[in-house]
Amino acid sequence: MLLDTASLYYRAYFGVPDSVRAPDGTPINAVRGLLDFIARLVQDHRPDDLVACWDNDWRPQWRVDLIPSYKAHRVAEEIEGAPDAEETPDTLSPQVPVIAEVLAALGIARIGADGYEADDVIGTLTARATGPVDVVTGDRDLFQLVDDARERRILYPIKGVGTLQITDEAWLRERYGVDGPGYVDLALLRGDPSDGLPGVPGIGEKTAAKLLEAYGDLAGIMAAVDDPAAKLTPSQRKKLDEARPYVAVAPKVVRVADDVPVPDFDASLPRAPRDPAALHALAERWGLGGSLQRLLSVLQD
């Protein structure tokens, strides 16, 4: 089981009241909410291995070089020689290092790679895995990893993590008319304002799905643009032709990397904390209370 950690702690932050605080009054809702999420996921799905995948760089420069608008609206501060600072709620930012410390003390693997997003780490670990993989994320971009033959599913939270949309090929085809790899083409044609991806102007989700059904994939669609006999409307042909520079680079931006240099690590689900003393100190300092106890209880079962 691979966790898109930032996606989950954002959901925890907005789903758990900020009245949940440490003894000194610091909001700790994202930390406790994430611990409850992990406890529920382990309880319900019993993974053999669990990895908290991490954004070492939420906006990699190599993606920005290809599409400058990529996540540009979420930049809080440009930092020379380092990843830009992301716009984050004031009371969430201080909780992120605490999450990292708690995961380390528990012994839950937390893996990132410099110059890459958590999505890329997930893509790489999914590609390497020899058994079934469940990816837990609220990010539709990762639908591209769905592969029934290799038992790759996306568990997409609907309400907390107790109600999950099990995203497999049948669901994708019913909802979007594409398979996992086809979702990349659909997403780049449609665009995604939340990621600053412009898409092809005038080509929405339904039109993109119809084009993919008719011509197979992005390459087939662009070949149709050059084929006078292809049954594209004049407007579609014009829009796609004008979007060639974007279409040429967008696949690399939208497709998650599957060859990220990740360190060696132990993904085994811990049965007991790796560092009990450190975990006890964190629990006392931050008032992790029942959330931590519930997770420890589930891990020991």
At residue 40, does pLDDT exceed 90?
yes
| Segment 155-207, tens digit of pLDDT | 999 987 889 999 999 999 999 999 999 999 999 999 999 899 999 999 999 99
Determine the pLDDT at residue 87. Answer: 86
Mean pLDDT of the chain: 95
Residue 41: pLDDT band (50, 70, 90) is very high
Give per-residue pLDDT as tens, 246-293: 999 999 999 999 999 999 999 999 999 999 999 999 999 999 999 999
Q: Residue by residue, what is the 3-state secondary structure of the chain?
A: CEEEHHHHHHHHHHHCCCCCECCCCCECHHHHHHHHHHHHHHHHHCCCECEEECCCCCCCHHHHHHCCCCCHHHEEECCCCCCCEECCCCCCCCHHHHHHHHHHHHCCEEECCCCCCHHHHHHHHHHHCCCCEEEECCCHHHHHHCECCCCEEEEEEEECCCEEEEECHHHHHHHHCCCHHHHHHHHHHHCEHHHCECCCCCCCHHHHHHHHHHHCCHHHHHHHHCCCCCCCCHHHHHHHHHCHHHHHHHHHHHCCCCCCCCCCCCCECCCCCCCHHHHHHHHHHHCCHHHHHHHHHHHHC
Quick: pLDDT tens for 71-117: 999 898 888 888 888 888 989 999 999 999 999 999 999 999 999 99
